[in-house]
Chain A
Amino acid sequence: MAKKNKSPEQKRYQQIEQKHELKRPVVKNCIKAFFVGGTICLIGQAVMYFYMYFFHFTEQTSGNPTVATMIFFAMLLTGFGVYDKIGQFAGAGSAVPITGFGNSVISAAIEHRTEGFVLGVGGNMFKLAGSVILFGVFSAFVVALIKTLLQIWGII
């Protein structure tokens, strides 16, 4: 795509704009995300140990109930309006863990509640999370395919 030639006025405007534009505090955001995301994962690890210690789950199998529990926690926090505040503060730190996925499902459900249960909640619940599921399943399929082929060829 060819770059559009800017008029002198536009250039001047850009210079002024750059002077006043607030710089994104990238490092600060990263640190916040690191600590909040880490705390969420720490809670997840505690839940995992809980399932391993008190129920019949091994390290391999305890992942599934842990994920479900963390989504349940995120659901409660979203419903009570706490997760929004955590999200505002931590950004990616609260969006990347599985709780962010739960939050996107529940917040969409709450938002479209007025449109009815079927077309509103049911139809819009996976508005954002749908793409996560789609690409998750697709990438899992591709990775499994590659692994199967490598195993057939005897490489791994």
Chain B
Amino acid sequence: MKEFKRLLVVLFLLVFTAVMASCNLGKTTEESRKSMIQSVHPHPTAIEDKNKNNHEKAEKIKKEVESLPEIYDVAVLKGEGDTLVAYKVKHMQRFRMKKIEKALKKRLESKFSDETFVVSSDYKIFIEAIELKQKIKEKKISKDEAEKRLQKIIKFQKELT
């Protein structure tokens, strides 16, 4: 019984430190928190928001991606050069993740030949895309900073270790 109590104390301390550490690190939005357990359908966003064409294009890209039956939640972030497409794959289709990624990239590049696409099914990239979208929407971040952040996410997506 004594040992069990000690175990409880240790576990409590662990959880407490983890929670405290995460509170400091994560300045997260509600949408990204929700995206953990449900689909959130984030609005497609363009960093250069004065040009209406950019928005329309981002929306078209989102519709194109959503037309794939294996995909159920899509975040599109259109930067100056690159367009980030983060998506979630239906659970039973996750075995075919690489094939879906290839097919999606090919499809997007053939439909929108003047764009460069970075596609990712990684959940972390999805969260980062939502967070950046929110910052752009609330105008908490300048255009240059947003572009830099987008490039950082793209670089982050390529990391393997």
A57 to B26, CA, bound (A): 13
| Residue in chain B with minimal CB distance to A72 | B14
Q: How many residues of A contact B (CB 8 A)?
A: 18
B157 partner, pick from A49, A50, A54, A58, beta carbons under 8 A: A58
- Chain A contacts of B161 at CB under 8 A? 61
0/1 per residue, B134-161, Cβ < 8 Å to A? 0000000000000000000000110111
- Chain A contacts of B6 at CB under 8 A? 80
Asked if A59 is at the interface (CB within 8 A of a chain B CB), the reply is yes
A53 partner, pick from B11, B21, B36, B156, beta carbons under 8 A: B36
Whether B156 and A56, one on each chain, are in contact in the complex, defined by CB atoms closer than 8 angstroms, is yes
| Residue in chain B with minimal CB distance to A80 | B7
Q: How far is the CB of A76 from chain B (nearest CB, A)?
A: 6
Interface-central residue, B21, B123, B156, by most chain A CB under 10 Å: B123
- Chain A contacts of B64 at CB under 8 A? none
B22 partner, pick from A54, A61, A81, beta carbons under 8 A: A54
| Contact residues, B15-33 vs A (CB, 8 A) | 18, 21-22, 25-26, 28, 32
Asked if A30 is at the interface (CB within 8 A of a chain B CB), the reply is no
| Contact residues, A48-75 vs B (CB, 8 A) | 49-50, 52-62
Asked if A82 is at the interface (CB within 8 A of a chain B CB), the reply is yes
Known contacts A52-B124, A53-B28, A61-B161; is A80 also within 8 Å of B156 by CB?
no
Asked if B68 is at the interface (CB within 8 A of a chain A CB), the reply is no
